[in-house]
């Protein structure tokens, strides 16, 4: 994580990842309510300067990285996870080969 970027951009990306994780009802989740409440509580206003804003932003960016990594790991796992024993014809098709035909129609 080189640069943090804008806090609003991090919040939007974090909510997008929560939507991927929880589905359509992500706004009812406790994680959504906690993230939005934390960002509202730590925003900078004209009355006060919040010292913990950078800390919150860093924690949010770290959590965003975790959610993205978990989602991408699950996608890779679904794509490349072994599906058990495969037939020789299926294995040959995976690598772009085809098995020779046997005389007499046996294969």
11 part of a folded domain = yes
**For 28-32, what is the mean pLDDT?**
88
77 part of a folded domain = no
Can you give the residue range of the structural domain that contains 43? 7-69
| pTM metric for this prediction | 0.62
Model confidence at 51, in pLDDT bands (50, 70, 90)? low
Q: Residues 66-94, buried b or exposed e (16+ Cβ, 10 A)?
A: ebeeeeeeeeeeeeeeeeeeeeeeeeeee
88 part of a folded domain = no
79 part of a folded domain = no
Tell me what the pLDDT averaged over the chain comes to. Answer: 82
21 part of a folded domain = yes
Q: 73 and 66 in contact (C-beta within 8 Å)?
A: no
Q: Is the pLDDT of residue 2 over 60?
A: no
Q: Looking at the 3D structure of the chain, how many domains does it have?
A: 1
Alpha-carbon gap, residue 31 to 63, rounded angstroms: 11
């Amino acid at each position: 994580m080189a640069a943090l970027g804008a806090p609003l951009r991090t919040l939007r990306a974090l909510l997008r990842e929560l939507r991927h994780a929880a589905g359509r009802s992500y706004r009812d989740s406790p994680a959504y309510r906690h993230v939005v409440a934390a960002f509202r509580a730590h925003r900078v206003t004209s009355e006060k300067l919040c010292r913990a804003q950078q800390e919150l932003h860093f924690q949010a960016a770290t959590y965003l990285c975790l959610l993205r990594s978990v989602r991408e790991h699950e996608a890779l796992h679904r794509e490349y996870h072994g599906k058990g024993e495969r037939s020789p014809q299926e294995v040959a098709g995976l690598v772009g080969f085809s098995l020779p035909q046997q005389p007499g129609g046996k294969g």
